[in-house]
Amino acid sequence: DPIAVKTTVDHLIKEWMNKAKAGTSICCMSDPSHRYFRHDVYPEYKANRTGERPAALTTALDHIRNKHRIAEYDGLEADDVMGVLAGSTALSDPVVVSIDKDMMTIPGKMLNPSKMRRPLRISKAAADRQVFMQALMGDRTDNYPGVEGIGPVKARRIIEQHGDARRCWGAVVEAFGDEDQAITMVRLSRILRAEDYNFDTGEIRLWHPVKPVWMRPTHHTTEKAKSKPSITSKPRSRQSSSTDTASETSSNKSAATNKKTQHRRKRTSKKRGGI
């Protein structure tokens, strides 16, 4: 029932905004081409996903695009859009709102509405450790292998034995037995952050332990590269995102944040936002 699906989506977004105490929301969407920068990093990425999308999901996503404010960038998945906006200086106190455990790899405020009563602040160090753990474990859903025989318990044990990021990285390389393979797996498991995306060019900064590499997803056209992505109430609009502040949410991921006002508010009246 399309009407029931749309009603459920609207109710869910409102409920998550209330839990995040958000003034407004932005729905984070994946590039509808389904061609992401991770396919350039690892061609087999999500190659196991061959089934058709459920009709209810298509209805929900179309409704979000038509009714709610969205953020959608070429070559990025919804996770990456949230990661970029979570650290955006254009948003006021953003909070990532999602039931996806992968959001624990993003520094900043995060709320899992199914498990948390209030947002949790994740430090950069904690987020980085979670990335390394995910790289070691791999992800069958996204079709990248990690290290054979390493699950959550063993991955956590390996990472927790080392205090700083440099030592953690050394342990990750040792577990893989190949630095290039380890770098590839980290690039797949690491959700983009604000500093990893260039709004002017659409370029993406790929993770590297010493010298990050900038790249542009291969599906970009020259025309797309010239235009800027945006946070907008209409799909694929190309206004500058720096002028908008909001909260975002997709079918199972959301973000909320306040609009900056021209006048100065009292601290006690300022609402946070959620992503």
Query: 241: pLDDT confidence band, cut at 50, 70 and 90?
Result: very low
Band the pLDDT of 220: cuts 50, 70, 90. low
- Output 250 or 155, whichever has higher pLDDT: 155
For the stretch 27-68, pLDDT in tens is 999 999 999 999 999 999 999 988 788 999 999 999 999 999
**Residue 244 identity (one-letter amino acid):** D
Residues near 269 by Cβ (< 8 Å), separated by ≥ 6? none
HEC sequence for 59-108: HHHHHHHHHCCEEECCCCCHHHHHHHHHCCCCCEEEEEEECCHHHHHCCE
pLDDT tens digit sequence for 113-134? 999 989 999 999 999 999 999 9
132-161 tens-digit pLDDT: 999 999 999 999 999 999 999 999 999 999
